[in-house]
Amino acid sequence: MANLKKMLAASGGAIAAVAGLPARADWSLLNMPEGVSELSQEIYGLHMMVLWVCVVIAVFTFGAMIYAMVKFRKSKGAVADTSMVHSTRMEIAWTIVPVFILIGMAIPSVETLIKIEDTSGSELTVKVTGYQWFWQYEYLDKGVSFYSRLAQTSNETRQLGSGKDPNAVDNYLLDVDNPLVVPTGTKVRILLTANDVIHAWWVPDLGMKRDAIPGFINEMWISVDEDKPGTYRGQCAELCGRDHGFMPVVVVAKPKAEFEAWLAGRQAAQQAAAGTATTAAVDTLAGQAVTLAKAE
């Protein structure tokens, strides 16, 4: 019954949205975000180029099909030209022309790919570990490490039969307790691994997604534009079990000075809790040993 009421309310909301009344949801979300990093903007450019090439080809092919369907109808008295069964010239043409179009698309793709794979010259390295179902961020050589889980409000609301309205939660399912903080205008190398199953770390505005695989370390880099500090949200993108949909990725990009201040504060806090931290580390190791034993 409660479900029915909620559904009625939701469909009312949908009708309101269609009618152009103010609504929370956004109908303008139709395309890939341009993003806030050099890579994401380059990827966006590639995406739009290929999209437009497809649109142009579609206009020609669909145009020809529609023309044929309108012009050569039996009901309009069209008589089939049964001698038109083969044309080497035409067939060579529509084999060769696409080859050139594809080469035109391949060159910029490969260029971007080379740039994406070049992780050299990074100024900061963060190791990201995926767990069922949260993330761990470790700032290598900085002595800062923490876990990042779905924010409590989202977590309560998302339970089956919680009776709470997701629309009332800010950034529903896209909010965490401890976001990853990075400096803007800095090439940050991200190392990815996982502790149990495969996860994938993805923030659309940063343009990159990469799998976090147990037993292996993947790498990628991100760099938020200097003039675009802010909070950027994404999700785990590789099915990782029951709560796969509930381990968001949140990145807060701060100007360099603010980042340094944040990092120093974090370091101090972590050192203060050093005693407890040692015990926690031992616990984690023990936990990992148990997991390994189970896996075997």
- In the bound complex, what is the minimum distance in angstroms from residue 129's beta carbon to another protein? 14
Looking at the Cβ atoms of 166 and 265, the one nearer to another protein is: 166
Closest CA to 136 of 145, 144, 123: 145
Closer Cβ to another protein, 64 or 269, answer by number: 64
User: Strands 180-183, 248-254: parallel, antiparallel or unpaired by DSSP?
Assistant: parallel
Q: Which residue lies nearer to another protein by CB, 65 or 264?
A: 65
Q: Closer to another protein by CB, 99 or 257: give it.
A: 99
* 3 state DSSP class of 124: strand
Query: What CA–CA distance (Å, rounded) separates 128 from 179?
Result: 12
Q: Which is nearer to another protein, 47 or 268 (CB)?
A: 47
d(CA 249, CA 225): 19
Residue ranges with strand state E in 152-281 = 180-183, 188-194, 199-203, 208-212, 218-222, 230-235, 248-254
Pair type for strands 188-194 and 218-222: antiparallel
User: Is 75 buried (19+), middle (13-18) or exposed (0-12) by CB count in 10 A?
Assistant: exposed
Which residues are CB-contacts of 232 (< 8 A; sequence separation ≥ 6)? Answer: 36, 203, 205, 206, 224, 250, 251, 252, 253
- Residue with Cβ nearer another protein (49 or 277): 49
Residue 73 beta carbon to another protein: minimum distance, rounded to whole angstroms: 5
Q: Which of 14, 273 has the CB closer to another protein?
A: 14
**Residue 144 Cβ, how far from another protein at the closest point, in Å?**
25
Minimum CB separation of residue 191 from another protein in Å reads 11
Minimum CB separation from another protein for residue 165, in Å?
7
For residue 90, the minimal CB distance to another protein (Å) is 7
CB of 68 to another protein, least distance (A): 4
Cβ of 83: how many Cβ atoms within 10 Å? 6
- Determine which helix (DSSP H) or strand (DSSP E) holds 146, and give its type and residue range: strand 144-148
d(CA 89, CA 52): 27
Please give the structure tokens belonging to residue 147: 């876990």
Name the residue nearer to another protein (CB basis): 54 or 285. Answer: 54
Q: How many C-beta neighbours within 10 Å does residue 192 have?
A: 21
CB of 182 to another protein, least distance (A): 18
Rounded CA Rg of the chain:
26
DSSP state at residue 196 = S
